[in-house]
């Protein structure tokens, strides 16, 4: 084997696994990364008062962009993906893969809502207070008899017999 052929073989063996690993992101992973990116960007925007970029000075805009890029880089590092590989894979996705990512995103959102509902049920599992009326000092009472049933009147109420009928 010539030296050139062996160098080509060696370089192809070293670079091909890297290319295969770059395309191994599942739709669930992409959806999770997108959700985390969006949350990080919203957090940075909230820190700057949710102002439009046109309302910021050039220095503030530069600072906000820098903070957003740092937040997105933290998300990428957390998920073990380089920005370059993520951008390549999302750019090469077709309509089928985009639909899979959207479905995974909806599934993640449903899981988050279910987790929040379970958490709120755990916190609110105590005794429920029932209040009659507007407050305890001024309760609203319903007219009724001693047995608690309401009075139902049939026909014209007493005292209104002499009133003219409306058309």
pTM: 0.58
**What pLDDT sits at residue 106?**
95
**Is residue 31 included in any domain, yes or no?**
yes
SS (H, E, C) 86-153: HHHHHHHCCHHHHHHHHHHHHHHHHHHHHHHHHHHHHHCCCCCCCCCCCCCCCCCCCCCCCCCCCCCC
**What pLDDT sits at residue 120?**
81
**Is residue 1 included in any domain, yes or no?**
no
Residues in the chain predicted with pLDDT less than 50, given as ranges, are: 18-22, 167
**Is residue 84 included in any domain, yes or no?**
yes
The pLDDT tens digits of the residues spanning 86-102 come to 999 999 999 999 999 99
**Is residue 8 included in any domain, yes or no?**
no
**Cα(121)–Cα(137) distance, rounded to whole angstroms?**
30
**What pLDDT sits at residue 128?**
66
Domain count, the chain: 1
Residue-range definition of the domain harbouring residue 106: 27-122
**Is residue 147 included in any domain, yes or no?**
no
**What pLDDT sits at residue 155?**
73
**Is residue 60 included in any domain, yes or no?**
yes
**Is residue 138 included in any domain, yes or no?**
no
């Amino acid at each position: 084997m010539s030296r050139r052929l062996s160098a080509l073989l060696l370089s192809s063996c070293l670079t091909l696994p890297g290319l295969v690993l770059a395309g191994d992101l599942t739709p669930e992973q992409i959806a999770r990364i997108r959700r985390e990116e969006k949350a990080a960007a919203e957090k940075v925007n909230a820190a700057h008062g949710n102002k439009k970029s046109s309302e910021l000075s050039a220095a503030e805009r530069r600072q906000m962009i820098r903070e957003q890029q740092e937040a997105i880089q933290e998300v990428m590092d957390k998920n073990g993906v380089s920005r370059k590989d993520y951008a390549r894979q999302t750019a090469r996705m077709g309509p089928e893969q985009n639909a899979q990512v959207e479905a995974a995103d909806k599934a993640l959102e449903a899981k988050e809502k279910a987790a929040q509902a379970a958490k709120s049920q755990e916190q609110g599992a105590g005794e429920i207070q029932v209040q009659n009326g507007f407050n305890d000092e001024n309760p609203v009472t319903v007219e009724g008899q001693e047995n608690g049933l309401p009075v139902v009147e049939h026909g014209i109420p007493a005292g209104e017999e002499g009133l003219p009928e409306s058309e």
